[in-house]
Chains A and B, each alone.
Chain A
Amino acid sequence: MATGHRSLADQLRSWSDERLARLLHDRPDLATPAPSDSAQLASRAATRSSVLRTLDLLTRLELSVLDALVVVGPTSREALLGIVHADPAEVGAALDRLVDLALAWEAETGLRPLTGVVEALAGSPGTSGLRPSSAEPAPPETIAAAVEALSEPARALLLHVLDQGGEARTEARTHVSVADARTPAEELLARRLLTPRGGGTVVLPGEVGLVLRGGRTTTTPIDPRPTLLTSERDQALVDRGAAGAAHEALHHVEVLLEEWGVRPPSVLRGGGLAVRDLKGAAQLLQTDPVAAAFWVELAYAAGLLGHGLGPEGDLAWLPTTAVDAWIEESPAHRWRTLVSGWLVSNRVPGQVGRRDGAGKAWNALTSELTAPHQAETRRMVLDELAALPEGTTLAAATGPASLVERLAWLRPRRPRGRTDQIGWALAEGERLGVLGLGGASTPLRLLLDGETDAAVEALAAALPEPVDHVLLQADLTAVAPGPLEPTVARRVQLLADVESRGSATVYRFGASSVRRGLDAGWTPAEIHAFLASVSRTPVPQPLTYLVDDAARTFGTVRVGHAESFLRADDETALTELLHHPRAASLGLRRLAPTVLISTTPVDVLLQRLRELGAAPVVEAPDGTVHIARPEPLRSRTRETTPVAAARGAARETARITAVIAGLRAGDRALPVRPPATAVDPRGRSTPSATLTALREAIESGTSVVIGVIGDDGLPTDRTVEPMSVEGGRLTALDPRTETLRAFAVHRIVSVRPAGDAP
């Protein structure tokens, strides 16, 4: 190919900044830490772990194209389009993406896969099962003729080997002529339809497989992506259902955080939430434990729940400091916070209650309660649903299964637990109100398009309008016929207990709740005025009476602080103490003729009284308890909440730009450095430079001279053809002996191209 490059590094060097940025965005592992130049970038792109990670992102079609590339070896674009059983335009697009992802590159010999790909792709789901072609494949016509000439048992065996992955073991002699062949296997070997690999292993080369499959890697087309089974619903209905769920979601999280702010459940020793506490939460939220686990995990994912010290000094699950700001926001904003946290969370509350491999049931909030690709799968589910036209929803019964199939096509390499993950994503989406009746709600569509503000507005429009009044009734209840404005709600909630929540709220007034208002400093007149102003209906007489009655008895008993008390039947003795010149610091106060109280602790007081000449005795404690209304407890907001991570998209772009700028600078500096060897003062290359040089050599298939430290501690030079670098070992072919040898990478001190002088 005319535009071929000497190496992947060369190709990357020729790319525009945008293209590089796209690569670093799609393969973020390449950018951390920032590579110094394109050679290092190329080297890193070829590592097994990075390749595997990238393969996971491919669709079935892309995998098939890559697989075809592996099967035929370096080839032209046109040839490749011919052997993939799919629409050529689609195959072309898939190929472009593979090149963009640096999984394939344009070498001088034609398009070729990255070396690591061959191994990584072997046996992967979504591939054809064909082996790579031989180095010098026979022309298809010759192979076809050979196949044609096969005996029936040999043909059956050949097809069997093809179906079994192209590899088999046999006792057959490997070097026989067609005439000498005694078994079908020997016949196949003689006709060179199977190739011996040593050790009794035979391989069906790719070119034979291609011929057997009619010139293509698969017999069935691979491009039709499974379609979703859908039904038609009014989008308004979808939005309405979703908004109702969103409202419920907010309500649930609020109630949960409010309760846990006062009565937090403890953190289990292994982290997580006790089953009993989860059941408690379910009861509180009037739902089942499965749903309760979701609400708890949702609050956690949104950074609203963390652990901190509970009231008894033990570790407990507490609302974070972020809650206080969150609760002040508008409902739609609050919802957005929840959804943002949920979208990027890998947590799988759907697993709660199920048993793990060891037979132990999963607890909510356990740190291991995650699935690596949950966020990605969830996002794909939402993207798929949002891609449907408005008013189209997933069919109720058959839809989820079709979604599973479609995702299996889009990500063939992510099969484990996919059905579960998709089911959870759908169920959670319905609960959270991003989905309604199986369809994407308008706010979700906007949110996925990045139009956050528009999404918030759309939801705000669909949520019930806040009301600013209540209806007071003679049975001492107040009904807010809709969500109450927060300022009004807080005041009503101070004066009355909540009896029923939902879209509307029912409050009940009682002597104790009114007293709570009085405790908070309200005067009866203020309460009357507030009730009259907030009620659309006349204030019922019994309620007025109740307030007055509560006020009448309010404060008849007074409570104060005292560290200790003094009791004496002798009034004059107390009077004397009270007026003693040296008793001023004791903080004495007379409550009754025979009782004094003091602000001094008993042990100190006892000492001081003795100094003053009194002879006090200590009374046994009689067990009075002081109960204060507990303040809501808070834990610290986690430093890096998933929400913060979600907001970092812009930051990510900036970082990638910086990485590319660094790359360019590194490449510019290249001519003044020895090629591919950063040398330390002792003339040895640095480990990273060594690896880069080795990977580049593997990629370009060239020989290098490596300096290896021998057992005597002295370096010796060896000329080798590197094959792979994995796990700190270099596997290379020694051209003199034609054998594979392994070298420990840490013993290699220099690498230079074979032609160069040392």
Chain B
Amino acid sequence: MNDGPLIVQSDKTLLLEVDHEDAAACRKAIAPFAELERSPEHVHTYRLTPLGLWNARAAGHDAEQVVDTLLTYSRYAVPHALLVDVAETMARYGRLRLEKHPVHGLVLASSDRPVLEEVLRAKKVAGMLGERLDPDTVAVHPSERGNLKQALLKLGWPAEDFAGYVDGEAHAIDLDPEGWSLRPYQAEAVDSFWHGGSGVVVLPCGAGKTLVGAAAMAQARATTLILVTNTVSARQWKDELVRRTSLTADEIGEYSGTSKEIRPVTIATYQVLTTRRKGVYPHLELLDARDWGLIVYDEVHLLPAPIFRMTADLQARRRLGLTATLVREDGREGDVFSLIGPKRYDAPWKDIEAQGWIAPADCVEVRVSLPESERLVYATAEPDERYRLAACTHHKVDVVRSLVEQHGDAPTLVIGQYLDQLDELATALDAPVISGDTKVAERQRLFDAFRSGEIRRLVVSKVANFSIDLPSAEVAIQVSGSYGSRQEEAQRLGRLLRPGRDGKVARFYTVVARDTVDADFAAHRQRFLAEQGYAYRIVDAADLG
């Protein structure tokens, strides 16, 4: 019997015992093809999925390597059916290729005629293909490059895209490494991306995804369109680019609800692109406004559906997706794979934390009991009212106040969902509120003040979930959230994990009402944290002292 660190289950999960001496080597070996599903303290769970295996194929691994890795590290015999399945799944990728034909332009070519025949008969691809040029080649309407890839993935025959990219309009961009340099993993991520052409780089919050974007731009040396989640985030990108690259503020345009500048480097928000007036998207022409050489998608896991549709038309341009997690609450991971590209780089959160690039965190769930009167109201409330009732109990205010006092002067964020509650908290804590209603300038001012230490406490709504760097925050207290959203939890924790002072331990509190849906949602989110390897405790409000 082998004494490996890995146990291969027949349901296609891989269990990795972390305390095993070969665990690190094994992790490295399986990372290219297995998706890390959860990483609690002792046993990490990876899963083999078709997407994961195809990602591996795209990165140049073959089935033999995968099987060999499994056999090498597996403690017990590997289920035969699983090995067969791995080989079969991986063999499906690349049977079809999108290529550039000197005469006919874009073509779909196949080395396996039956597969091509099967695909040609599928209803889903009807209308995307042109005439049959020879038994193994079919013309493709250039505009359908993205849609075709999407459809082929759904059919289970993902195509490899060799049709190449346009260079775009050249524009000189260089990194400006003064007093800083790319971290090794960032450089590696850029290399992997550039080598693969298009694709997604997965890095945890606070690991410097913006710099990966900047480095990719320096690599492309072409006009770039950057798509971000919101305006604040757009400003941060701009600041960061001005600071870290040779770009000047004049070369960077912001395309948002407030200003519509188109410059060699343009930062646009998802919101403005997806604004619809009378059934049309008026800002869509932005995508064709310049001959972009690179398109950067920030927070790919939040990419809204209309952007996917638009992206389908941008397949000739290099695309870089940045995200902390490939998990999408809507399950559209396959669209990311086929339209943005395969995963090109992935570094697990904990590893980067262990290297000291992001701060460790201590998560605590504080449970408050609803008083008798509120319990009765809660018990008789309509189901859709219940969460709000439970989440906004007044008892939470007291608990938050005592938590804040416990941490004295430590920079503290209080995060919530409901404005009434936030206002109540702000009054109780004597702290400013940032919500969706707050003007961008005001938001900017408050965030700056928080960063510089002028303000020690800040009450924020979900506007602060994404892409806002508050590296000085040491304590976050969450009082309510979007039900049980896992990626929201990741983002909020991410606010805290920006590298700060040496030895800083971030504290993340969640205040929940006992015996209510609030606690159920919290359990869902906490499970996510525990799966990410964060130790967490549950304490009763009464025991806070």
Contact = CB atoms under 8 A, between A and B. Distances in A.
B534 to A, nearest CB: 8
A541 B43 CA distance: 17
B76 to A, nearest CB: 4
Contact of B43 (A287, A291, A473, A553): A473
A506 B15 contact: yes
Contact of B7 (A473, A477, A502): A502
B79 A244 contact: yes
Interface in A225-249: 240-241, 243-245, 247-248
A240 B77 contact: yes
A542 B536 CA distance: 7
Interface in A421-450: 430
Q: Categorize the interface residue count of chain B.
A: 20 to 34
Given A244-B80, A553-B515, A542 B537 contact: yes
Given A247-B77, A287-B81, A542-B536, A503 B7 contact: yes
Contact of A502 (B41, B79, B530, B536): B79
Contact of A248 (B79, B530, B531): B79
B515 A503 contact: no
B288 to A, nearest CB: 47
B537 A481 contact: no
A293 B10 CA distance: 18
Interface in B519-539: 526-527, 530-531, 534-538
Nearest to B514: A549
A88 B45 CA distance: 66
Given A474-B536, A506-B45, A537-B42, A479 B15 contact: yes
A432 to B, nearest CB: 11
Contacts of B500: none
Contacts of A243: 77
Interface residues of A, number: 37
Contacts of A464: 1, 75-76
Contacts of B42: 471-473, 479, 537
A314 interface: no
Nearest to B530: A475
Contact of A537 (B1, B41, B45): B41
Contacts of B78: 244
Given A481-B43, A502-B7, A241 B77 contact: yes
B527 A476 contact: yes
B9 A474 contact: no
Interface in B3-43: 7-11, 13, 15, 17, 38, 40-43
A406 interface: no
Interface string B37-53: 01011110100000000
B11 A500 contact: yes
A286 interface: yes
B17 A286 contact: no
A499 to B, nearest CB: 9
Contact of B538 (A430, A475, A542): A542
B543 to A, nearest CB: 11
Main secondary structure of the interface of A (DSSP, over half): mixed
Nearest to A285: B10
Contacts of B17: 471, 481
A477 B531 CA distance: 10
Contacts of A504: 7, 9, 15, 76
B35 to A, nearest CB: 15
A542 B365 CA distance: 9
A524 to B, nearest CB: 16
Contacts of B9: 500-504, 506
Contacts of A287: 81
Contact of B10 (A241, A248, A473, A553): A248
A500 B82 CA distance: 15
Main secondary structure of the interface of B (DSSP, over half): mixed
Given A464-B1, A465-B1, A245 B11 contact: no
B15 A481 contact: yes
A482 interface: yes
A477 B38 CA distance: 11
Contact of A503 (B8, B41, B531): B8
Interface in A486-530: 500-504, 506
Contacts of B530: 473-476, 542
A251 interface: yes
Contact of A244 (B38, B41, B77, B527): B77
Contacts of B75: 464, 481-482, 503
Nearest to A464: B76
A502 B538 CA distance: 32
Nearest to B363: A474
A245 B77 contact: yes
A464 B79 CA distance: 13
Contacts of B538: 541-542, 545
B40 A477 contact: yes
Given A244-B77, A286-B11, A542-B526, A479 B535 contact: no
Nearest to A537: B42
A501 B11 contact: yes
B10 A502 contact: yes
A21 to B, nearest CB: 43
Contacts of B76: 244, 247, 464, 482, 503-504
Nearest to A242: B77
Given A244-B80, A500-B13, A504-B15, A474 B40 contact: yes
A473 B40 CA distance: 6
Contacts of B8: 502-503
A291 B84 CA distance: 14
A473 B533 CA distance: 9
Given A464-B1, A482-B76, A251 B45 contact: no
Given A500-B13, A503-B7, A430 B80 contact: yes
Contacts of B45: 500, 506
A87 to B, nearest CB: 41
Nearest to A504: B7
A247 to B, nearest CB: 7
Given A473-B40, A475-B40, A542-B536, A502 B527 contact: no
A584 to B, nearest CB: 40
Nearest to A291: B81
Interface in A336-388: none
Contacts of A500: 9, 11, 13, 15, 45
A537 B76 CA distance: 22
Interface string A291-325: 10000000000000000000000000000000000
B531 A475 contact: yes
Chain A CB within 10 Å, residue with most, of B7, B515, B534:
B7
Contacts of A506: 9, 13, 15, 45
Chain B CB within 10 Å, residue with most, of A472, A475, A482:
A475
A443 to B, nearest CB: 14
Contacts of B535: 474, 540
Interface in A244-267: 244-245, 247-248, 251
Contacts of A245: 77, 79-80
Contacts of A479: 15, 42-43
B120 to A, nearest CB: 26
Interface of A: 240-241, 243-245, 247-248, 251, 286-287, 291, 430, 462, 464-465, 471-477, 479, 481-482, 500-504, 506, 537, 540-542, 545, 553
28 contacts: A243-B77, A244-B77, A245-B77, A247-B76, A247-B77, A248-B10, A248-B81, A251-B10, A286-B11, A471-B17, A473-B40, A474-B534, A474-B535, A476-B527, A476-B530, A481-B7, A481-B15, A481-B75, A482-B7, A482-B75, A502-B9, A502-B11, A503-B9, A503-B76, A503-B77, A541-B538, A542-B365, A545-B538
Given A291-B81, A502-B7, 12 more contacts: A244-B76, A462-B1, A471-B42, A474-B536, A475-B527, A475-B531, A482-B76, A503-B8, A503-B76, A541-B538, A542-B536, A553-B515
Nearest 3 Cβ contacts at the A-B interface: A244-B77, A502-B9, A475-B530
